[in-house]
Amino acid sequence: MRDFPSCFGENGVQVADSSSSNSGKTAQNLVACVYQCRIRGRSCLITITWSKNLMGQGLSVGIDDSSNQCLCKVDIKPWLFSKRRGCKSLEAYSSKIDLHWDLSSAKFATGPEPLEKFYVVVVVDRQMVLLLGDLTKEAFKKTNAIPLPSNAVCVAKREHIFGKNVFGTRALFCDNGQLHDLVIECDTISVSDPRLIIRIDGKTVLQVKRLRWKFRGNHTILVDGVAVEVLWDVHNWLFGSSLGNAVFLFRTCVAADKLWASQPVSDANMLQWSFSQRFSETKLPSLDFSLVLYAWKND
């Protein structure tokens, strides 16, 4: 994986570019999910990016092969007045790939990712490679796809979250795992000694005191009996622009000593580092899932 969403060009959603900006006004409200799939027996990565701006909701889909080369892409621009359903045909591996979506009845919360009443599917040779959403019957009826079990696995997710001192989202730490409420708390203005607190389902799993000295670091927590490596960088919150973002990485932790031995998290060059680059360089088969959160402080 290069820098997901890797396939998107000038008109696509550039997660790394927007998240590294020091201006909160340019921060995009988006969620990008990467699914590892197989197309005609070949491994590939499908990136689904949900975005939201003043023009409405947007959807982008890109497909990379196992060597991180972009096979095809489609960018469904934000809509306010256009239809929220449709289909597009792509070409990859000498096959026709059909993308179908129906968001006409989708229900959203504050973020750009729909919660229910929708589907997004990728079909290759009548086989449904990827199915997202709860309108399963409608998806199969629309596509006439063969009802075979999907082999798609979510391997990474990036999300921009917004708040003043409290930042919340819902997260899965492994494919088909339990959905958890994840809350990050950090008051860097009104207190003389700021601290970082991370809670999962209301339970404190990490507390960092003397944050001005520990604005970057890592710690291992347990979620559903699985070790999860947590890395944080809140330098911008403490020493940068008041509109800067902090970055958090949650990664299922298998052989963590191998993951980080070559570049310790105390390295001063970690500021605005590319989590996606670290993800791409780590190709251990035991690596399960990575969640990257860009936390933007509201004015």
Indicate the pLDDT class of residue 243, thresholds 50, 70 and 90: low
In a domain, 143, yes or no: yes
User: Is-cis flag, bond preceding 112, omega within 30?
Assistant: no
Give CA–CA dist 5/60, Å, rounded: 9
Same domain, residue pair 136 and 91: yes
Q: Which residue has the higher pLDDT, 27 or 298?
A: 298
Q: Which residue has the higher pLDDT, 30 or 242?
A: 30
pLDDT of 81: 64
Length of the chain, in residues: 299
In a domain, 206, yes or no: yes
Range of the domain at 71: 15-151
pLDDT of 72: 86
The answer to whether the predicted template modeling score (pTM) of the entire model surpasses 0.75 is: yes
Same domain, residue pair 64 and 94: yes
Is residue 156 within 8 A of residue 290, CB to CB? The reply is: yes
pLDDT of 278: 41
Give the model confidence (pLDDT) of 30-70 as tens digits.
999 999 988 888 889 999 999 988 888 899 999 998 777 88
Q: Which range among 91-100, 139-148, 263-272 shows the weakest confidence by mean pLDDT?
A: 263-272
In a domain, 281, yes or no: yes
Total domains, the chain: 2
Same domain, residue pair 184 and 107: no
Q: Which residue has the tokens 């997260």?
A: 171
> Which of 151, 182, 211 is a domain's end point?
151
Same domain, residue pair 132 and 161: no
Give CA–CA dist 103/134, Å, rounded: 11
Q: Which residue has the higher pLDDT, 213 or 79?
A: 213
Give the model confidence (pLDDT) of 145-200 as tens digits.
887 777 788 889 999 999 999 999 998 887 667 889 999 999 888 888 899 999 99
Q: Which range among 87-91, 114-118, 236-240, 254-258 shows the weakest confidence by mean pLDDT?
A: 254-258
Same domain, residue pair 32 and 94: yes
Q: Which residue has the higher pLDDT, 236 or 263?
A: 236
Give CA–CA dist 247/15, Å, rounded: 12
> Which of 135, 151, 167 is a domain's end point?
151
Does residue 273 have a pLDDT over 60?
no
pLDDT of 241: 63
Same domain, residue pair 187 and 128: no
In a domain, 225, yes or no: yes
Give CA–CA dist 17/146, Å, rounded: 39
Give the model confidence (pLDDT) of 129-138 as tens digits.
999 999 999 9
Same domain, residue pair 147 and 182: no
In a domain, 8, yes or no: no
In a domain, 7, yes or no: no
Same domain, residue pair 166 and 237: yes
pLDDT of 112: 92
pLDDT of 242: 59
In a domain, 4, yes or no: no
> Which of 151, 181, 212 is a domain's end point?
151
Is residue 265 within 8 A of residue 216, CB to CB? The reply is: yes
For residue 231, CA distances in Å to 71, 93, 122, 138 come to 32, 37, 33, 40
Same domain, residue pair 50 and 164: no
CA angle 28–31–36, rounded 5-degree value: 140
Same domain, residue pair 23 and 133: yes
Same domain, residue pair 206 and 81: no
Token readout for 164 is 């003043």
Does residue 263 have a pLDDT over 60?
no
In a domain, 280, yes or no: yes
Same domain, residue pair 146 and 164: no
Give the model confidence (pLDDT) of 82-130 as tens digits.
678 899 988 877 788 999 999 999 998 888 999 999 999 999 888 899 9
pLDDT of 17: 34
